[in-house]
Structure 1
């Protein structure tokens, strides 16, 4: 059986009804991150989160299935570029995603653009196989449904 080549980039553009400073903080404040990150049915226990958002800093946490706490996916990222309220760039390693081999050196780029009091977020991540692009997109979109009410509060 031949492994599919990971050569696909995930790109999501989404408008949030909140200023970019609030959206940026939701990605960089551990207490906020745990309230929304992970698709519906998954959570991030606060004790697993370690964030140091600066060039050379890191992000570490574990996403856990609400139904089966033994199903966990640790994520570790290294930040290569950070501009407060504007940009987060880094590389990620993760494991435990069903149907996917462990990742090494996947990139992540999150841009926060001011849209007149709202925020246009542009997220790029990869490389993925074509199948994983669909699954990762669904995961991010599901996470964003949890982020919307947090930003509204």
Structure 2
């Protein structure tokens, strides 16, 4: 199986690394931001936040026409710095949280799946990360 080059998406959230980490790993928070477009949602998520533990998120079209489980096993859990997930299809996703001026730079690098064009995958993962930013920034503003 040949993999193309890993893809990286990133955002800057206005929260310190500990709060950015919490918003990224808390199952209740994940259901608030883990979807690429408004016609999708994430009705449930589970997190066993330890190396060898599992993360799973249910992704569904809001109209009920389709849905799937998106999950994997944690390969690295280094709170609040880095998190690596071996996806169920064998690909690797690694997210880092770096303190930056104005908050935390959150970067996710992932192996593309080999089916959809890399640009489409980058756009989808970036849209999810943009939702994460909106959610996290909203939590900072309200807390």
TM-score band by shorter chain is 0.7 to 0.9
Counterparts of 2:102 and 2:19, CA distance in 1: 10
Gaps of at least 5 residues in structure 1 are 94-103
Are 2:108 and 1:123 aligned? yes
* 1:109-150: CA deviation from partner (whole Å, max 9, x where unpaired): 001101135111121111433843212211122223322332
Structure 1 residue 5 displacement after superposition: 4.7
Q: Which residue of 2 aligns with 1:101?
A: none
Counterparts of 1:127 and 1:149, CA distance in 2: 25
CA contact (8 A) 1:8 1:129 kept: no
Q: Which residue of 2 aligns with 1:44?
A: 42
Structure 1 residue 73 displacement after superposition: 2.1
Q: Which residue of 2 aligns with 1:70?
A: 65
Structure 1 residue 70 displacement after superposition: 3.2
Q: Which runs of 4+ in 1 moved over 4 A?
A: none
Q: Which residue of 2 aligns with 1:112?
A: 97
Are 2:31 and 1:29 aligned? no
CA contact (8 A) 2:112 2:121 kept: no
CA contact (8 A) 2:41 2:62 kept: yes
